Structure 1
Amino acid sequence: MNFAIVGCGFIAKKHAAAITSIPAAKLTAVCDQVESAMAPYVEQYGAAPYTDLSEMLEDNAVDAVCICAPSGFHAPIAEQVAAARKHIVLEKPIAMNLEESDRIIQAAEKNNVKLTVVHPNRFRPVVMELRKIIDKGMLGKISHASAKVNWNRNQEYYDQAPWRGTKQYDGGVLMNQAIHNLDLLLWFMGQPEQIFSMEATRLRDIEAEDVSAGVIRFESGALGIVEASTTVYPSNFEESITIFGEKGTVKIGGTNALYFEYLNIDGMPETEAETIFEKVKADPWGITGHKQIILDIIEAVKDNRKPLVTGEDGKRALELVLAFYQSAEYNTPINMYKEVLV
């Protein structure tokens, strides 16, 4: 399968590395309005450079397009890619609002192309092990869960481009950093029913939030606690998800939520828990998430099935972020799927 990349900023490097590490994939083209940004991909991978998206999409050799442009531009680019009958690998968040996310999903359906949103943390070995534990019902009835992302993004990070930290094109810590953790929380805990959140911009000179704290009531009745920030000094401190059930407590953590920090389940022998600990510790990253996403869309096209992470999955994570934003703006609880989220 031949891939192209639109938007040759930082995240595009991960897509290029993933594509070129797969024998069944090839990076054939890149597109960016800044010609110098494309130079590394031309020199290292032999990709054809385009400054005009329409011209690139006329290339019949391109089968799929990785959209790595700023989030506020996702919808018009994705619609154009879908209309050209190219499959879509879309960086998170799927879009900046629900109207745009619906346009993207509908464009993919209308043109019969596959759409996947990049939520790569689902493919981490520790996350897949926790998912197995939940699917087997080993934790019993869930009481509550917590998700934390306390990282550092200094002012230089936001000053790299004028769109960073803006509400229109980028968003804050929830939309950018914590959205992966929120995606996992939804994957583990199910649909949220009610949200209450507070946000602030404490240390960074940006339009959006750099710290957020919120609570969720899920449809199951379980509660969730979310804490996110980019204000931590001097570097990334933690990313974790902890789930408390009547028959067990599990925490995955570290600076990037790569390891089991706690695993205690009723009836699970200590030797079995230790085996799981060591298995994850031996290869915490596994096959990188971006590579898994690329491999999956190739297989999804081949088998004519939905990708493992769908456009609807991307929309659900976006809905949760927007509910947090709306709750904070109006200082009131938000009833999911009953309130008007935009």
Structure 2
Amino acid sequence: MNFAIIGCGFIAKKHAQAIENIPNAKLIAVCDKYPDAMDFYVENYNATAYVDSIEMLKDSRIDIVCICTPSGFHAAVAEEVAVAKKHIVLEKPIAMTIRETNRIINAAESNNVKLTIVHPNRFRTVVQEVKKILNEDLLGKISHANCLVNWNRGQEYYDQASWRGTKAHDGGVLMNQAIHNLDLLLWFMGKPKEIFSMEATRLRDIEAEDVSTGIIRFENGALANVQASTTVYPKNFEESITIFGEKGTIKIGGTNALFFEKLEVKDLDETEISRIISKVEKDPWGPPGHQRIIEEMILAIENNKKPSVTGQDGKQALELVLAFYKSAESKEIVSL
């Protein structure tokens, strides 16, 4: 299948590399309003460069478009792509508002194209193992969970582009960094019911938050603490999710939530626990997440099924972030 990329910033290179690693997939076109941003893809992938996305989308050879623009532009670009009858791989977050999100989902559905959102952490080896344990109900009734993302993004990171750290086009640590972990928390724990949150902008000169802390009550009654920041000195410190159940405790952690820091499950013997831990340690990242997202999209098109990460999945993660924002602003519990 033939691919195009709209928006040739940093994340676009991950898409290009993923496409290159997939048999029978080829990047044939790129689009960006800055011609210099496309030179890399012209030189390394022989892609045709466009400054006008509408013009690029007239190319009947293009099957799938990867949208890598700033988040605030996702809705407008996704609608253009859907109307052109191209399938959509859309970077996270799906959009900045629910209204924009609904525009994207409706455009894909009405034009009969597939839509997937880039939440690649679902494909990490340790995450897949946790999901299996939860699907088999080996932890029993879940009591609560902790979700931590304490990273570093210095001022120079935000100063790279005028849209970074803005509320209109980027958001803060919840919308940009921690949304991946919130997606996993929802995947593990189910639907949220109530949210209470506080946030602050402590160290970075940006509009949005650089530190946030909050509490979730899920529909099943379980609770979760969420803490996220980009203010940690001098580099990324931790990314972890801990789940406490009546028959076990699981913690995945490290700098990037790649390993089991705790795996104690009543109905798993020591041999099985050692096997699972060893499997994760041998290949912690697994296949690159962007590659898996794109591979799953190709399979969805070929077999006419839903992609592994749907537009509704992206919407649920965004709804949670927006609920955190609403609670922090109102200083009240927000119900979903």
For 1:234 and 1:274, the matched residues in 2 are separated by 34
- Relative to the length of structure 1, the TM-score reads 0.98
Distance in 1 of aligned mates of 2:38 and 2:259: 36
TM-score (norm 2): 1.00
Pair 1:151-2:148 in alignment: no
Q: How many pairs are equivalent?
A: 336
- Check whether the contact 2:67–2:89 (CA below 8 A) recurs between aligned residues: yes
Distance 1:267 1:64 in 2: 44
Distance 1:85 1:259 in 2: 40
User: What is the CA distance between 1:268 and its match in structure 2?
Assistant: 1.4
Per-residue deviation, 1:50:
0.3
1:251-276 deviation digits (Å, cap 9, x = unpaired): 00110111111000013111211111
Deviation at residue 246 of structure 1 after TM alignment? 0.2
Could you tell me how far apart the structure 2 residues matched to 1:30 and 1:21 are? Answer: 18
Structure 2 CA distance, aligned partners of 1:88 and 1:77? 10
Find the counterpart in structure 2 of residue 11 from structure 1: 11
Task: Please state how far the C-alpha of 1:48 moved relative to its aligned partner.
Answer: 0.4
Give the match for residue 64 of structure 1. 64
Alpha-carbon distance in 1 for matches of 2:267, 2:127: 21
Q: Distance in 2 between matches of 1:286 and 1:195?
A: 33
2:135 is matched with which residue?
Answer: 135
Work out whether 1:321 is the aligned partner of 2:331: no
Mapped partners of 1:192, 1:267: distance in 2: 28
User: What is residue 84 of structure 1 aligned with on the other side?
Assistant: 84
Question: One-letter code of the match for 1:320?
Answer: L
AA at the equivalent of 2:169: Y
2:55 is the alignment partner of 1:55: yes
Identity of aligned residues (%): 69
Partner of 2:169: 169
Give the residue type in structure 1 aligned to 2:177. Q
C-alpha distance in 2, partners of 1:33/1:177?
Answer: 25
CA distance in 2, matches of 1:58, 1:177: 34
SS in 1 for 2:306: coil
Task: Read off the aligned partner of 2:185 and give its amino acid letter.
Answer: L
SS at match of 1:109: helix
Classify the secondary structure of the residue corresponding to 1:149: strand
Within a 5 Å distance, the mapping from 1:1-342 to structure 2 comes to 1-336=1-336
Name the CA distance, whole Å, in 2 between partners of 1:157 and 1:268: 44
Q: Which residue of 2 aligns with 1:340?
A: none
The separation in 1 between residues aligned to 2:324 and 2:268, in whole angstroms, is: 37
CA distance in 1: counterparts of 2:271 and 2:108, whole angstroms: 47
Alpha-carbon distance in 2 for matches of 1:307, 1:274:
32
The one-character-per-residue Cα deviations of 1:53-97 (angstroms, maximum 9, x if unpaired) are 000000111111000000000000000000000000000000000
Task: Measure how far apart 1:181 and its partner are.
Answer: 0.1
Unaligned runs of at least 5 residues, structure 1: 337-342
